[in-house]
Structure 1
C-alpha cells in the first residue's frame, strides 16, 4: 500500500475506423450513463483490477458493439486532470482499421452502434474528438509506411480501388493519372493478366502486392500521396 498517494480511475477507449469499399468511417455508440448520457461516444469503459489494458479494451469493445478478434493498437494515454467531469480518470486509447463488410454481422444494436463518415461526425463527449484526431494522424503514418491498407482489399485489386482507399484515409482527392504513375513506379505491385470489366467497358487490370519487394522498399509507399508532410500535421 502507498497510503500517501492519491487514487484515480483507469479507463480505455477504442477508436474503430472501417472501410466499406468506398468510404472510411468511424464507429460510435450512444453513451449509456451520465454525464452526457445518450451522446455520441467512442467505445470506452473502466479497467478491472485483474485486467491488462489490452484485455480491457477487447472486453469493452465486445460488450458495447459485439466486435471480436479485432487487432487493437495502443495509441496514447489521455490524462488531463479535468477530462472526465465526475472523477479523475486516465484513458488508454486504442485504434484499429477494419473491413466493415467482414465484421457487419457481429455488430449489435444494444448501444446504437453506428458508422459515421469522417466528414460527418457528430459532437463527441469529453476529449474523444482529440482522440480521433490523433488516431487519424497515426493511421496516415501507418498507411504511408506499411501495407496495412492492402489488408482491406481483395487479394487482387485494381489501381482505382486502391486510390479510393487512400483518398478515404487522407480525406483528399488524388489525381488519377499521377496516382497511377506513382503507384506503378514503386514496383511494389505485380500486374496480373486479367481485367475487372464491371466498372468500364475498357476494364482495369488487376494487381497484387509484391510482398518480397515491399520488405526491401517499404519507403516507396510515401510516393503514393502528394506532399505527404501536409497530412501529418494536425
Structure 2
C-alpha cells in the first residue's frame, strides 16, 4: 500500500449537535460518554469515522448508534482541531448540527446510552471542547433562523403566537416583549389567523395561526424585523 512518507496519523471523529423544540422549550440532546476517559460524563453524540464511509454517512451512523434517531438532516458546522482537544490521542472532530421537532422523533429515542434532552439554558458541563461546539452551533442557528424558514418547519401546521415566541426566545436567548413581538408578527402579514384556539395553555386560549408559504417565499425578509439587536444577545 502506498502511503505518504513520514506523516503522522490523526484520528477523525464526528460530533453531532442536536437541538430540539418540544412546543415550549428549545433543548439539546446529550448522552453519557461510554469510553473510559470521562466515562459517564455528559457529551455530544460522537464517534470515529470508519475508513469506508464519508462524513455524512458517519454522522448518521454515529447518531443512530448512540440515540436510535434516523432520518435526521444534519449540516456540517466546523472542524475542531486543537492539538490538545482530546487528552487521549490527537483527534480532529468534524461537528454537525441539526434542529428537529422533538415530537416527531421521540418514539425513536433509545436509552442505551442514556440519551436525554436538556433545556438549552440548563445544560450540564460537557466534556472536552463540546461546549464550544454548542456555542458555535447556536450562532449558526441564529443566522439560519433570520434568513431561512427553518423555525416554521419545527412547528405544527397550526401554531400559536406564544409557541412561536418561545421558539424565538430559545434560539436567540432573549426575552421578547409579548405585545411588541405580537405586533411585529402581525405587521409581516405572513401569518393567517385561524378561527379555532388552543385552550390547553390558558382558560382564555390563544388563536392558532398558519404560515402563508407563498407570501413567505416572496417576502421572507419581513421576519428580520423580529431579530433582536446583536448587542442585546448573550
The alignment's TM-score, normalised by the length of structure 1, stands at 0.93
What is the CA–CA distance in structure 2 between the aligned matches of 1:36 and 1:212, rounded to whole Å?
A: 50
Asked if 1:91 corresponds to 2:119, the answer is no
Q: CA deviation at 1:221?
A: 1.8
Moved more, 130-139 or 192-201: 192-201
Asked if 1:216 corresponds to 2:218, the answer is yes
What is the CA–CA distance in structure 2 between the aligned matches of 1:147 and 1:229, rounded to whole Å?
A: 24
Give the equivalent residue in structure 2 for 1:163. 165
What is the CA–CA distance in structure 2 between the aligned matches of 1:181 and 1:65, rounded to whole Å?
A: 40
Q: CA deviation at 1:193?
A: 3.4
Q: Deviations over 1:124-151 (max 9, x none)?
A: 1110010000011111111111111111
Give the equivalent residue in structure 2 for 1:134. 136
Over 3 Å counting, the alpha-carbon distance change for 1:64 and 1:199 in structure 2 is closer
Q: 1:111 aligns with which of 102, 106, 113?
A: 113
Gaps of 5+ in 1: none
The alignment's TM-score, normalised by the length of structure 2, stands at 0.93
Moved more, 193-202 or 205-214: 193-202
Q: CA deviation at 1:224?
A: 1.6
Q: CA deviation at 1:205?
A: 2.7
What is the CA–CA distance in structure 1 between the aligned matches of 2:18 and 2:202, rounded to whole Å?
A: 33
What is the CA–CA distance in structure 1 between the aligned matches of 2:200 and 2:124, rounded to whole Å?
A: 35
Gaps of 5+ in 2: none
Report if the CA contact (8 A) 2:64-2:70 is conserved: yes
**SS of equivalent residue, structure 2 residue 151:** helix
Give the equivalent residue in structure 2 for 1:52. 54
Q: Deviations over 1:168-217 (max 9, x none)?
A: 22222210110011111112212233333444454433221111222222
Report if the CA contact (8 A) 1:179-1:225 is conserved: no
Asked if 1:153 corresponds to 2:160, the answer is no
What is the CA–CA distance in structure 2 between the aligned matches of 1:114 and 1:158, rounded to whole Å?
A: 27
**SS of equivalent residue, structure 2 residue 163:** helix
Moved more, 141-150 or 63-72: 141-150
Q: CA deviation at 1:61?
A: 0.3
**SS of equivalent residue, structure 2 residue 150:** helix
Q: CA deviation at 1:156?
A: 1.4
